[in-house]
Amino acid sequence: MNMNNLNINNWIIKHNLETLDYYSESETIFAQANGYFGTRGTLEEGCSQEIEGTFVNAFYDTEEIVYGEAAYGYAKNRQTQLLVPNSKTIYISIDGEVLDVEKSIIENHSRELDLKTGIINRSLKWRTNTGKEVLINTERLISMEYENLMAINLSLKPLNFSGEINIKSGIKRDKLNDIDENDPRVSGELKYSLNIYDKYCEKDLIIAKSKTNNSNLGLITSIINKVDNVIDREIEKSDESTDNNIYESINIKVVENEVCNLTKYCYYYFDKQDRLENEIDHKIKDFRELCKNNYGYYKESQEKYYNKFWENSDIVIDGDNEIQAAIRFNIFHLIQSVGKNGKTNIAAKGLTGDGYEGHYFWDTETYVIPHFIYTNPDIAKKLLEYRYSILSKAKDRAKEMSYKGALYPWRTICGEESSAYYPAGTAQIHINADIMYSIKKYYEVTEDLEFMISKGFEMLLETSRFYADYSDYIEGRGYCINGVTGPDEYCALVNNNTYTNMMVRYQLKFLVDFIESLKANDKKLYNDILSKFNVKIKEIKLFEDIYKNMYIHYDEEKGLIGQDDAFLNKKVWDFKNTPKENYPLLLNYHPMVIYKHQVIKQADLILSMLLIPENFTYEEKKANFDYYEKVTTHDSSLSECIHGIIANELGYEDMSYKFFENTVKTDLYDLHNNVKNGVHIASMAGSWQCIVFGFGGMRQIDGVLHFNPRLCDKFNKIEFKIRFKGRVIKVSIERDKTDYQLVSGKNITIVNNGEVIELVKLF
Ligand code: BGC
């Protein structure tokens, strides 16, 4: 899609609203969030094309999944992130005529999103039917520092009159209005959507209370309107049988050519229903405190937060302005969407839309966490703490599946498995190893032993226990992991998916090595931890035996590694005769048609080449990449970034650039035609990986950073910063040279193109 009413320039995304073309897509682009809650970029007064959505991270309800034919152990309940009451709503009217962007006479209507502050600034000139003209400006922010708060500043400047303007500002209940039953990537509606069961006003504060039907969660939504020049104000409510809204209608006095301001403060807070009632007074007090600061205070606090954030996280690209803006836009959405409190995570669509029902997937560990580990390790830690918080559910799940240890859910919010289609859900048991992989990287980058001892070890041990029990020793082969699905969802329930086997092998070695290092360095801790988790030497030996004898399927005749035991013996998909409109295949072919062919949805074996590069020789990478790339559709947005990185390593410059460009522009240019349902968080993070792991060629092997930079000729220079073991390293890559600057921290050794170099602090 070419959203030609968007003008993208460096830090600013400008949207010309004179036409409402691609309006619902732009709502996703202009979504704002802070990890606790987020809201789509809809207009304060709404419009008929909108897909309204405000979401609170992990505020969800459940409903029983009704199977036509159920079987033992299927996921029992859906979990769906709910649409919460919309507190943005502000209607403006003059002499009874209400501003309506589709009907009113409007000029110069545009808005800008500033990636340096996360603030949206919108302006327009409105002429009423009776000729009264007013300049309207709104600024909106969701505070990064105060997680419950959104602030909207509305200013009105009458140009040719003095008199009265009416503002109706309140809390509105919206319904999901973009449900496509045929697209599994889009959310369906729960039978009971969230309702407001109580709403009232306490002096200048309006509060609406909602509760879920089954998940025992309650939410308060509250607003305070602060306005200059009030003539009178009153509360208007509609009841539950209609739309269940609550507004404050305020008449204000305006003077020609003078600006009159309204600041609307909006507050969201949720907790378990039983706890919430006792917390309300305290929360209201907290909200009132926040409202004592004016809008400017929050604007400044955003500037401060983002200044610091960009200091660590910016990527500078010299040579292509579009790509420069796109990478910043992607990084911006990652920091906006990520849960930062250890109890929540980052959903596949962030907080920008209802796609994938607000679920957390392996997207977090495999795509998003690397970005945070190397730029904001504290946030990476919080994401891993979330996994720890659901470990007991993962243990229950393993038990239910008749295995020892813990099996993490494929998709979830509360920790229970929520995937109704197990062949592409629960069967992806690689999720355990994906999480453990990022724990290993996190530990190596931060050396946070405390985390390992208090949380990481237990997760590592329990998920390893699951794998030890799940894998089967087959004579003549070794340990096999059969009947699983790898990352490629176009092959299901296969034997020995190489990605899975390699990742499990890697994890078990990590566990054994970690135990060995404890034994060598802290005998007491070693003894304590083994006894706490009842680990016997026999069990450690078993883990060792498995990783040393893990089966990997090589096809000697073809000179290739099998994606699994059967893949290379299937018929190749007829790509030549598949019309373009039949992609993505998952929307047009029954799984049985897809599964019996050599056709791949997304990076699978190729992903192992990135994650565990030491497993492959250069020749193996090349031979397998050349083969597998040709049978890959990239129907998942998680695919091209990984292919781009490996293509770069193999010297396929054009191909690598194309994959990178498609990744970095996925959302801003709506390349998958579904941005209206939310951004693609994994591919946004994948675009960061394309820069750092692709053009920068960075790999972390055995705790050491290796770089093999290779810049394509589209760019003159790329610069980024990496945090590593308490250091900050700035990397500047040009086509013929790379500079590494130790910005802070002690001297450190890295490897550049195979050569060991020491980075020394100069000043
Ligand atoms: C991909 C999965 C991914 C999910 C959520 C699917 O299309 O195949 O790998 O986890 O989307 O992003």
Task: Please tell me whether residues 252 and 357 are part of one structural domain.
Answer: no
pLDDT at 241: 67
Question: Amino acid identity of 197?
Answer: Y
Residue 573, marked binder: no
pLDDT at 1: 47
Transcribe 613-625 into DSSP letters: GGGS-HHHHHHHH
Residue 601, marked binder: yes
Task: Please tell me whether residues 279 and 322 are part of one structural domain.
Answer: no
pLDDT at 3: 65
Ligand 1: residue whose CA is nearest its atom 12: 348
- Domain carrying residue 151: 42-283+301-308
361 lines ligand 1 (CB under 6 A): yes
Ligand 1: residue whose CA is nearest its atom 9: 487
Tell me, what CATH number does 274's domain have? 2.70.98.40
Residue 514 within a domain: yes
Task: Please tell me whether residues 529 and 457 are part of one structural domain.
Answer: yes
Residue 475 within a domain: yes
- Of ligand 1's listed atoms, the one at least distance from the Cα of 428 is 9
What is the Å distance from ligand 1's center to 636 Cα? 6
Q: Write out the two tokens for 635.
A: 């129907």
What is the Å distance from ligand 1's center to 487 Cα? 8
pLDDT at 396: 98
Mutating to test ligand 1, I would choose from 636, 672, 684 the residue with most ligand atoms within 8 A of its C-beta, which is: 636
pLDDT at 261: 97
What is the Å distance from ligand 1's center to 39 Cα? 23
Task: Please tell me whether residues 516 and 559 are part of one structural domain.
Answer: yes
Residue 381 within a domain: yes
Task: Please tell me whether residues 422 and 530 are part of one structural domain.
Answer: yes
Tell me, what CATH number does 621's domain have? 1.50.10.10
Cα Rg for the chain, rounded, in angstroms? 27
pTM: 0.96
Residue 24 within a domain: no
Residue 631 within a domain: yes
Q: Which of these is catalytic: 44, 357, 458, 489?
A: 489
Number of domains forming the structure of the chain: 2
Ligand 1: residue whose CA is nearest its atom 7: 636
Residue 19 within a domain: no
Cis before 591 (ω within 30): no
Q: Which of 244, 273, 308 is the last residue of a domain?
A: 308
Find all residues with CB under 8 Å of 582, minimum gap 6, and list them: 588, 589
Asked if 600 contacts 632 with a C-beta cutoff of 8 angstroms, the reply is yes
- Of ligand 1's listed atoms, the one at least distance from the Cα of 586 is 7
Task: Please tell me whether residues 183 and 122 are part of one structural domain.
Answer: yes
Task: Please tell me whether residues 263 and 322 are part of one structural domain.
Answer: no
- Of ligand 1's listed atoms, the one at least distance from the Cα of 361 is 10
What is the Å distance from ligand 1's center to 220 Cα? 32
Reported as a single tens digit per residue, the pLDDT across 557-607 is 999 999 999 999 999 999 999 999 999 999 999 999 999 999 999 999 999
Residue 688, marked binder: no
Task: Please tell me whether residues 168 and 218 are part of one structural domain.
Answer: yes
Task: Please tell me whether residues 271 and 320 are part of one structural domain.
Answer: no
Find all residues with CB under 8 Å of 303, minimum gap 6, and list them: 116, 117
pLDDT at 188: 63
Q: What is the largest CA-CA distance in the chain?
A: 90
Closest by CA to 118, choosing from 269, 320, 331, is 331
Task: Please tell me whether residues 268 and 412 are part of one structural domain.
Answer: no
What is the Å distance from ligand 1's center to 556 Cα? 32
What is the Å distance from ligand 1's center to 187 Cα? 14
Ligand 1: residue whose CA is nearest its atom 5: 348
- Rounded CA gap, 77 and 576, in Å? 41
Asked if 407 contacts 463 with a C-beta cutoff of 8 angstroms, the reply is yes
Give the DSSP H/E element, type plus range, for residue 661: helix 653-664
Residue 5 within a domain: no
376 lines ligand 1 (CB under 6 A): no
Identify the segments of the chain with pLDDT beneath 70: 1-3, 175-192, 240-242, 763
Residue 501 within a domain: yes
Question: Amino acid identity of 276?
Answer: L
Task: Please tell me whether residues 325 and 279 are part of one structural domain.
Answer: no
Alpha carbons within 13 angstroms on the beta-carbon side of residue 560 total 18
Is 234 noted as a catalytic residue in this protein?
no
- Of ligand 1's listed atoms, the one at least distance from the Cα of 601 is 8
Task: Please tell me whether residues 190 and 333 are part of one structural domain.
Answer: no
Q: Which of 292, 308, 324 is the last residue of a domain?
A: 308
Q: Which of 242, 274, 308 is the last residue of a domain?
A: 308
